[in-house]
Structure 1
Amino acid sequence: SHMSQLSLFHLQIKTRRFNETTIQILESVLVSKDVKSLMEVRSSLTEFLRSESLCVIRTIADKTVQQKLLVLEFFVRAFAIVGDSESCLALRYEALVMRQLKSASCEWLRVSYDEWLNFAEHALDSGFHSIAGKACENALLCFQKNDLVEPETYKFSEDLGAVRKIKRLKDFAMTSISSRSVQVQAAEYLKRKRTEKSKTDSFCKENQCLASISFRNGIKKRNLQKLHEHQSILRINDELDINNMDEASL
């Protein structure tokens, strides 16, 4: 059943069985016609794989380069299957850097410019422009480290074309980073302006409210004064009428 396959996959990872069988079990877990349940399973598996991969990478620190690379390759495939492109690219990059560092003593570990270029293209497609730029720099370093053939040969022309392509890709990545930076700054500016406007509007409304209250209080005070004046006039008139009546009786 679906749950038994999921439990089996968890067991395979916990017991550190990073092989093709485990990959096949993972693929079978994700076979579902229910979109909602599929999304939930993907999310659960992604969280599980991220947690386990960190633990595993720490525990294999003393292993050989080949053993480390096999584990990294397994998790790269697993993350690709569950659709976690960020983790997939991160571990691919880690594996490439590891090979590059160890290639001085082990020629078979050398990373070709094609591998860096392929990684850079995938990183760009996924929106990771900064890491794509670094991959392009590493790809260009491959041409500096390798002994270039004579300029007259076809190989030189081929390499020159590849260098131009990598530089174009790097320029695009750098432009995208700058553009992204401008967009972020613009978004922050607009957010700040909205906040300031909100505060200003609130202040204006508060002042308007205070002014309105003050105005209404002023009207009330004026009306009271008029009422008091009117009452005073009435009292004076009443007193005059009384005095006139007294004089007439005399």
Structure 2
Amino acid sequence: MSQSAQEQQQFALLRSLIDARSFDDATLRILQSLLVSKDVESSVQVRYTFTEFLRSQFLSVIRSIASKTVHEKLLILKFFVRAFAIVGDVESCLAVRYEALLMRELKSASCQWLDVSSVEWLNFVEDALRNGFHSIAEKACQHALLCIGKNDVLEPGIDGFSENAEAIRTITRLRNIALTSLSSGSVQAQAAQYLTRKSSEQGKSDVIYQEKRCLASTSFRNGIKRQNMRKLQEQRSLLQTNDE
């Protein structure tokens, strides 16, 4: 069997496993094996193909698991976090991690084992900032601060109080970094829009200027022609008069 035929067979197997809702390590190993490529260009194409495939499958799966338990849903989300990490889709990986943390936070009122610690939120914030996703990092910071206020309330004077204060300072600092980056991005976007608009206006101005120059030049040439024709007619009249 050729390598191409083998890859197609493995891809078909991967698709059938996901269709069968087989979200386990064996499925992830097949995905990982399909990404092994000697050719860099083909490797990029393969990763793109699987990224699109996983994104479409994720949406399909999420719609179909509404009746499952929270534990089952979290296992499926964990599978897709790992799958997106394998194909290098950082954005989707972070988005699914965020959804999993939110689900745990939402259900933690009735299931204490689902509690999300401030450390988990902090780790997520650091990963989001490291990869340039400032908006989701800022939202996660808010959850982390709420988490400290809700779950880690400590009385002044005990050892943990200073640790709490340090955690709050760290999260606040990271939140400020995210907000500054978002603000900077907004300013850059506004600057880009301004430059685009000015460029467009300048282009229109140049066209109008060129048209005016063209009209002025044409009028000038026409004036010279009329003057030359008049002089020519005057010379002809003089010649005719002399001939008589």
Output the amino acid matched with 1:181.
S
Instruction: Give ranges in structure 2 of 5+ residues lacking alignment.
Output: 1-5
Output the amino acid matched with 1:81.
I
Residues 191-235 of structure 1, C-alpha deviations (whole Å, 9 max, x = no match)? 111111111111111111111111111111111111111111111
When normalised by structure 1's length, the TM-score is 0.93
The 5-angstrom pairing of residues 117-128 of structure 1 reads 117-128=122-133
1:64 counterpart residue number = 69
2:188 counterpart residue number = 183
Q: In the TM superposition, what is the alpha-carbon distance from 1:147 to its structure 2 partner?
A: 5.2
Q: Secondary structure at the match of 1:62?
A: coil
Q: 2:229 aligns with which of 224, 228, 234?
A: 224
Residues 169-189 of structure 1, C-alpha deviations (whole Å, 9 max, x = no match)? 011111111111111111111
1:111 counterpart residue number = 116
In the alignment, structure 1 residue 55 sits paired with structure 2 residue 60:
yes
2:160 counterpart residue number = 155
Instruction: Judge conservation of contact 2:152–2:164 (CA < 8 Å) in 1.
Output: no
Q: In the TM superposition, what is the alpha-carbon distance from 1:3 to its structure 2 partner?
A: 2.7
Larger Rg: 1
Q: Could you tell me how far apart the structure 2 residues matched to 1:210 and 1:6 are?
A: 66
Are residues 133 and 214 of structure 1, via their aligned partners in 2, closer, same or farther at CA, if it must alter by over 3 Å?
A: same
Taking only the aligned residue pairs, the percentage that are identical comes to: 60
Query: Cα RMSD over matched residues?
Result: 1.0
Q: Could you tell me how far apart the structure 2 residues matched to 1:62 and 1:218 are?
A: 86
Between stretches 4-13 and 49-58, larger displacement belongs to 4-13
Instruction: Give ranges in structure 1 of 5+ residues lacking alignment.
Output: 240-250
Q: Could you tell me how far apart the structure 2 residues matched to 1:226 and 1:80 are?
A: 86
Q: 1:215 aligns with which of 202, 220, 224?
A: 220
Are residues 112 and 147 of structure 1, via their aligned partners in 2, closer, same or farther at CA, if it must alter by over 3 Å?
A: closer
1:11 counterpart residue number = 16
In the alignment, structure 1 residue 27 sits paired with structure 2 residue 57:
no
Q: Could you tell me how far apart the structure 2 residues matched to 1:102 and 1:199 are?
A: 58
1:243 counterpart residue number = none
